[in-house]
Amino acid sequence: MPPPVVMLAGLTAGLGAILILLLMVFILPSLKSGAHDLRVGVVGAPAAAGLLEQSLATAAPDAYEPQRYDSEAALRDAIENREVVGGFVVDEAGVHALVASAGSASISGNLTGTAQALGQATGEKVTVEDVVPLPEGDPTGIGIGGLAFPLVFGGIVPVVAFRKIFPRSSGWYLTGLVTFSAVGGFVVASMLTFGFGSIETGLWSTTFWAVAGSIALGIAALAIPLAGLQNAFGAKGFTIGAMVMMFLGNPLAGIAGSAAWLPSGLGTVGQILPPGAAGTLVRSAAYFGGAGGLTAGLTLVTWIVVGLVLFVTGMRRAAVSTPEAVELAS
């Protein structure tokens, strides 16, 4: 065994490195967030649209990825379907910016500022319209923007609690996780709707239940894989999985500003993990009628399936190694 002073120095250095890593993971996404290849629509005569695209590239290099649309109506449809984050219509009246604060208040603010800067540079009149606005009860989008940590918490804690209550019954253990996911989805959706005013809908509307289902899916996509890791690999598997969700999934979720506002690589990683995918699905369900949420929904379902496979694998392994463990399948 190394001398105590060596162990002290090694442990201190290791913990210091972990601290630096955590600072980078939690601070870097916010520090480097901004406009990076944002998909925006452009409508106008070829010459005017081309000049606008040139102005965008000059004013903010690599910030936007313009896409042409034939009409303002087509651009509006693209925004409502989450194909683009906003856009610009240029005509004789000036520049008309279309934004969607419900998709991301940060991005809509950025597009508004860009449009105003272009107007000042060219002397043209600038108007801004929020095509998909945030509700009056939550004009800054704090409600849905703050979902990351509650989702992670809601996925980790039930795994510990239900394993403690049902140590010998995998059936009841799994039932508890599924039940909590459903109840948690309903409770959080109710708070967002009736407590915070983040969603303008009623209890019996399809939007409310779509949001509740999205949150429930997000909780299940966290809890079931963690339970599967625990079943298959023991406490170490659960611990590693929980740390990944907490220290990577949480800061890289991009729920507050959307994944498109994060640096491209970090935003992509965040959308692969359950917290980020759940945030995208909830926002799509709450404000866009589900548009743009298919990939996120499939990602969450994939996590659940993988979790179930690990869960069953752990059950079978325990049944083979210990005859008494057959009771776990009851």
| Residue-level pLDDT at 280 | 96
Write the single-letter amino acid at 188. Answer: V
Distance (Å, rounded) from C-alpha 37 to C-alpha 58? Answer: 14
Percentage with pLDDT > 90 across the chain: 66
Dihedral, CA atoms, 255, 84, 292, 30, nearest 10 degrees? Answer: -10
At residue 258, φ and ψ (nearest 5 deg) are 85, 155
| Residue-level pLDDT at 321 | 66
Mean pLDDT confidence for 124-134: 94
Mean pLDDT confidence for 102-129: 91
Tens-place pLDDT, residues 291-311: 999 999 999 999 999 999 999
Residue entry with tokens 């008309």: 96
What is the DSSP secondary structure assignment for residue 327, as one 8-state letter? G
Task: Please classify residue 145 by burial: count the beta carbons closer than 10 Å to its beta carbon, then call 0-12 exposed, 13-18 middle and 19+ buried.
Answer: buried
Residue whose C-alpha is closest to residue 117's, from 192, 179, 56: 56
Tens-place pLDDT, residues 203-244: 888 999 999 999 999 999 999 999 999 999 999 999 999 999
DSSP string of 40-54, one letter each residue: EEEES-HHHHHHHHH
Is pTM beyond 0.85 here? yes
Q: State the number of CA atoms in the 13 A half-sphere of 254 facing the CB.
A: 30
Q: Where are the domains of the chain?
A: 38-130, 142-329
Higher-scoring residue by pLDDT: 187, 58: 187
pLDDT band at 64 (very low <50, low <70, confident <90, very high): very high
| Residue-level pLDDT at 323 | 56
Write the single-letter amino acid at 166. Answer: F
Residue whose C-alpha is closest to residue 184's, from 153, 142, 227, 225: 153
